[in-house]
Amino acid sequence: MDNQSVNKQKIYGFWVLFDDGAKEGIRYLRDDLQYGESKTLFDAAHLRGSAEFEDDRDRDWTLLYNRGEGTYTLLERQRE
């Protein structure tokens, strides 16, 4: 998250930090996935430090767990 503004939003009780470029990923976690599906991603990121997923439009995302803060960061991954 470089010079873009950093946003913070609560999704299913989890605080997520993201920049303007990750708004579609936030919308996907919040609106397209049911609670149990999102919680699986949050739990995986909490246990392993990160969780990768793909949205309905084939965009790749990484959900990072920020251990010191107890928050998460959502980043879009570029396809290789």
**52 phi, psi to nearest 5 deg:** -105, 145
Position 3 pLDDT exceeds 90: no
Position 27 pLDDT exceeds 80: yes
Query: What pLDDT shows up at residue 4?
Result: 62
Query: What pLDDT shows up at residue 1?
Result: 55
Please state, in angstroms and rounded to a whole number, the distance separating the CA atoms of residues 25 and 59: 8
Query: What pLDDT shows up at residue 70?
Result: 97
User: What would you report as the CA-atom Rg of the chain, rounded to the nearest whole angstrom?
Assistant: 12
Measured between alpha carbons, how far is residue 68 from residues 18, 49, 58 in Å?
Answer: 17, 12, 31
Please state, in angstroms and rounded to a whole number, the distance separating the CA atoms of residues 64 and 70: 11
Position 34 pLDDT exceeds 80: yes
Position 69 pLDDT exceeds 70: yes
Q: Which residue has the tokens 């995986």?
A: 44
Whole-model pTM over 0.85: yes
